[in-house]
Amino acid sequence: MNFELTKRQGIIVWVYTLRQIKNLKRFGYIHYVSNRLKYVVMYVDQGEVKDKMERLNSLHYVRKVEISHRPEIDMTFEHALESDKEENLIEIENN
C-alpha cells in the first residue's frame, strides 16, 4: 500500500458574515476561521484552484478570495544561519 501526498494549495476567503461557514466546507478542507477579521483559510487540490476560486467569488457572501503564497517561500534557512554566524564573529572580533 503506497501513500501518495496530494498537492494542496491554500486559499484565503474573506466573507461578510460567518454564518455560511458550513457551505464553504464543500469547496475544500477548512483549516482556520478568524471570527474577528472574518476570513477562512482552506486547502484545495492544486488542479482545482482556479475553478474553486471562480465559484467562491460568485457567492454573494464572499468578499474576496486570495491564494496563499506559502508554497512560493523558500523554507531552507541554512544560508541565513551561516551568514548570521559570520556577522556575529566579525562583531566579536571588532570588540
Q: What is the pLDDT of residues 33-85, one digit of tens each?
A: 999 999 999 999 999 999 999 999 999 999 999 999 887 887 776 766 666 67
Q: Which H or E run contains 91?
A: helix 78-94
Cα–Cα distance measured from residue 72 to residue 5, given in angstroms and rounded to the nearest whole number: 18
Domain definitions of the chain by residue range: 8-94
Cα separation of 29 and 41, whole Å?
9
The CATH topology of domain 8-94 is Alpha-Beta Plaits (3.30.70)
Q: Is the pTM of this model over 0.85?
A: no
Q: What pLDDT, on the 0 to 100 scale, is given for residue 95?
A: 64
Q: Note the pLDDT of residue 55.
A: 96
92 SS3 class: helix
Q: Comparing C-alpha atoms, which of 79, 16, 26, 20 is closest to residue 48?
A: 26
| 8 burial via Cβ count (<10 Å: 0-12, 13-18, 19+) | middle
